[in-house]
Amino acid sequence: MHPPPKLDLSMSPLGISLLMLVAFAGFFWLAWRKLAIVAALQPEVRWDRPGARLKRVFVHGLLQSRMIFGDPKPGLMHCVIFLGFVALLARKVQLIVIGYREPFTYPGLAGGLFAGAKDFVELAVLAAVGYAFWRRFVVKPVRLEANREAVLILALIAAIMVTDLLFDGFRFALLASGDPGIAHERSYAVVGGALAALFGGWSESALLAGYHAFYWLQLLAVFGFLVLLPLGEHFHIVTGVPGLFFAKPGPLNRVPSVDLERVMNAADGEEMKVGVRTARDLVWKDAFDAFTCTECGRCKEACPTFLTGKPLALKWVHDSVKRHLMEHRETIVAGPPPPGTEDPLPALVGGVIGEDTLWACTTCGYCETACPIELEHLGKFYRMRQHRVMMEGAFPHELKGVFEAYEVQSNPWGLAADTRGAWAAALGVPVVRSADEVEKLDYLFYVGSAESFDPRGQKIATAFARILQQAGVKFGILGAAETSTGECVRRAGNEMLFQQLAQALVGTLNGLGVTRIVTCDPHAFNSLKNEYPEFGGRYEVIHHTQLIARLVAEGRLTLRPQFERVIYHEPCYLGRHNGEYEAPRAVIRRLTQGLPLEFDLSRGKAMCCGAGGARMWMEESIGTRINVKRVEQALPHAPKIIATACPYCAVMMTDGVAALGKDGAIETRDLAELVAAAMVNGAGAGSQGSSAQDRSPAG
């Protein structure tokens, strides 16, 4: 042991003061360069319901629940690094104080336990960093892209841990013999104590050199890390937790509404704004999200566009928006131009966001549920589509006929609206025309366009009607009085047409006193349940799988387990957007011999069929067809039946099976069709006998 050195051990109060001054000044200046852009964009209240928001911060931020459960191994790695940093903040405070007053230690048992825990945490962080390097350079998952900043940050984290352990070793070897506080700390610090023993035979000058060198190397790494944070994606270390507080619970199952009355009554061009044209039209949270994106790539893992080679992934959108905001920072921060002058900011769509990118999105919501810090995507894409459609008349040519068909006949095929109930003519299904008739019903069956006009969908509606009749459910339909919910045109950006359709349907439903609705269409289910209350339509809405599961549980339906190797494809607007995963599976378990099959990408990670967001009506010319990719994902499980619970999914899965030449080996059936066929003492329903009608409205 060395005697207490008779040297000035001061770490230089001036030096530590200057280092902190420069580092914090650099950090706040660089951070403000981004946050000033955020502050200059459109306002939106994101601090209502503070209790729920704080709970989300605790669960998803501090406990890292999405990070861990979404992908356990890398999630645990990130959790260790994150919690390690949080735990070691007290250590950094100690190091700063040492710069002014050596020998500072945390006193007593708590100080000793902290010293021991610190070593354990630093070893855990080093192990996590090692795993991160191995994963990035050896495993190379598809979702991770080459990223020099990530490598630099990982190296800095490792350097901070290593230099701290070495600093302890030199400090204990140099000072523990003459300072009881440092000796107490050494007795608990396993790694630092072991290093001190290793350095014990070194000269005093060598110990002093190591003591100073690793102190300053560590603080230079710490404060260098701080200054680097606002420059890249690791700004999320600062903004991630606030971003969780400000997030909307997702995925977004309600399209941002447009105040059409304000738009139509606008007195000048400045007020005639709909949606998003330039960066100036983004809400502040859109920019905050772009600067917060961790670039972890989780948004890609079940993204239907990324997996099929299309130019869309949430990470790429955030990258593009972030670069654009920084390139035009001065223009944005300066505020809007004077009235009557042209805004120098370029349009987002066409340059920053490509047309193919904007219209590729199926609105499945996977990216929002996968993001560990709940960054948002759908809201800004909906607003961009609204501007393109309503203000510029620029949209994929296939949608022109769809919009016109909805305007004239309230269905995408443009078929005669007065034939909407013709499918039910031979089934004895009552068509309700008065409030008195509706009052006697258990449910109004909202059929929707797909099941009213498309032959494939009509099979589903027929099967469900037979199920309700078998179970003794009192139900009726609106027949020719039923109109479209408009869900499709809303997600295509035609908000004016949607609101016309919504107001018409609400008028019909409210006029008849409808309170309880069942539907087989998850898109109609979502719209009636989550969007119609804004327009005065407040109903109890249930999906047909939920009602069937209830009828089976109550003993009102008895089913034979007659099917084998059934795999269930999850409709996005039933599962991800509305959280219903169990009801369909509960029914399938009653229908099958043996355990039902599951896609590798299932439940919250289920891949979309490709029909959502009005993609049902648009050609798919880039990359692999999404529905084909989804069927390919089923093939390793050797299913005999692909079951679903959505008329659009049924069409897409049928077409995907046919495209792969598997239509003789694999059936695609809606859950209602399977139940109708398996009912005991019921007439049942035959197998799907023909292929789906062509998806094009012109067909």
For 670, the token pair is: 């809606």
Q: In whole angstroms, give the CA distance from residue 332 to residue 568.
A: 48
Helices and strands of the chain, counted as H and E runs: 31, 7
Read off the tokens for 654: 């049928």
pLDDT exceeds cutoff 70 at 694: no
pLDDT reading at 269 higher than 80: no
Span 145-174, average pLDDT: 92
Rounded Cα distance between 50 and 332, Å, is 30
User: pLDDT digit string (tens) for 570-581?
Assistant: 999 999 999 999
Helix then strand then coil, % of the chain, to nearest 5: 60, 5, 35
Mean pLDDT, range 2-31, rounded to an integer:
80
Task: Render pLDDT for 546-596 as a digit per residue (tens, 0 to 9).
Answer: 999 999 999 999 999 999 999 999 999 999 999 999 999 999 999 999 899
CB-based contacts of 538, cutoff 8 Å, min separation 6: 532
Pairing between β-strand 443-446 and β-strand 475-476 as defined by DSSP bridges: parallel
pLDDT of residue 690: 32
**Is 90 exceeded by the pLDDT of residue 617?**
yes
Residue 688 clears pLDDT 50, i.e. is over it: no
Q: Grade residue 147 by pLDDT with cuts at 50, 70 and 90.
A: confident
Residue 691 has pLDDT above 80, yes or no: no
Distance CA 579, CA 572 (A): 9
For the stretch 387-440, pLDDT in tens is 999 999 999 999 999 999 999 999 999 999 999 999 999 999 999 999 999 999
The pLDDT of residue 302 is: 95
The pLDDT of residue 671 is 97
pLDDT tier, 683 (very low <50, low <70, confident <90, very high otherwise): very low
Residue 10 pLDDT level (bands cut at 50, 70, 90):
low
Looking at residue 341, what is its pLDDT?
A: 84
For residues 504-525, average pLDDT = 97
> Using one digit for the tens of pLDDT, what is the confidence trace for 71-113?
888 888 888 888 888 888 899 999 999 998 888 889 999 989 9
Does residue 67 have a pLDDT over 90?
no
What is the rounded CA–CA span in Å between residue 673 and residue 317?
A: 40
**Whole-number Å distance between alpha carbons of 164 and 507:** 70
Is residue 262 a contact partner of residue 271, using CB atoms and an 8 Å limit? Answer: yes
pLDDT in tens, 619-631: 999 999 999 999 9
pLDDT-derived band at 696 (thresholds 50, 70, 90) equals very low
Q: What is the pLDDT of residues 206-227, one digit of tens each?
A: 999 999 999 999 999 999 999 9
Residue 527's alpha-carbon distances to 45, 108, 352, 578, 670, in angstroms, are 23, 61, 30, 11, 21
Mean pLDDT across the stretch 355-367? 96
**Average pLDDT, whole number, for the chain?**
91
Amino acid occupying residue 147: N
- The pLDDT of residue 35 is above 60: yes
CA–CA separation, 215 and 685 (whole Å):
78
Tell whether the model's pLDDT for residue 267 goes beyond 80: no
Query: Which band of pLDDT confidence, cut at 50, 70 and 90, is reported for residue 667?
Result: very high
First to last CA, the chain: 91
Q: Which DSSP helix (H) or strand (E) runs through 358?
A: helix 355-360
What are the chain's domains? 13-38+49-241 (1.20.950.20), 260-391 (1.10.1060), 400-678 (no CATH)
Q: How confident is the model at residue 178 (pLDDT cuts 50, 70, 90)?
A: confident
With a cut of 60, say whether residue 1 has pLDDT above it.
Answer: no
Percent of the chain with pLDDT over 70: 95
Q: What's residue 145's pLDDT?
A: 85
- Other Cβ atoms within 10 Å of 100 Cβ, number: 13
Whole-prediction pTM value?
A: 0.89
